Amino acid sequence: VFHGRILAQRVVGRETRYEVEVKAPYRHRSPLVSREYLWVPNTCGCPPLREGGEYVLMARRHVNHEHTLNRILLQDGGYARPWTPREARLV
């Protein structure tokens, strides 16, 4: 779970890749860097993420069996909602 600002988006095949500035990590099992790519399937029922918007995002790190793919994935069961100052108390 982290607070991030959407910098850019690009449709790649059946997914959308968002470039995200990580503002504050809340809970994470793997370290996050200041900028990450967030992948979202185009079939996800998630709210649309707009460039410049800030969100609280609950995503998971996805690593394939060959360890050749390591990315942050926001799935249908994930969580994305607009960030509000109330979340700043969680840090």
What would the pLDDT profile of 26-79 be if each residue is shown by its tens digit? 876 778 889 999 999 886 667 779 999 999 998 888 887 776 678 888 887 778
* Mean pLDDT computed over 11-30: 87
Q: How sure is the predictor about 91, in pLDDT bands with cuts at 50, 70 and 90?
A: low
- Does this model's pTM top 0.85? My answer is no
CA–CA gap between residue 52 and residue 4 (Å, rounded): 10
Q: How sure is the predictor about 4, in pLDDT bands with cuts at 50, 70 and 90?
A: very high
43 Cβ partners below 8 Å, 6+ apart?
Answer: 14, 76
Query: In the chain, how many domains are there?
Result: 1
CATH code, 70: 2.40.50.120
CA–CA gap between residue 65 and residue 50 (Å, rounded): 32
What pLDDT was estimated at residue 69? Answer: 72
Q: What are phi and psi of 90, to 5 degrees?
A: -75, -20
Domain that holds residue 71: 2-87
User: What is the distance in angstroms between the CA of the first residue and the CA of the last residue of the chain?
Assistant: 11
What pLDDT was estimated at residue 3? Answer: 92
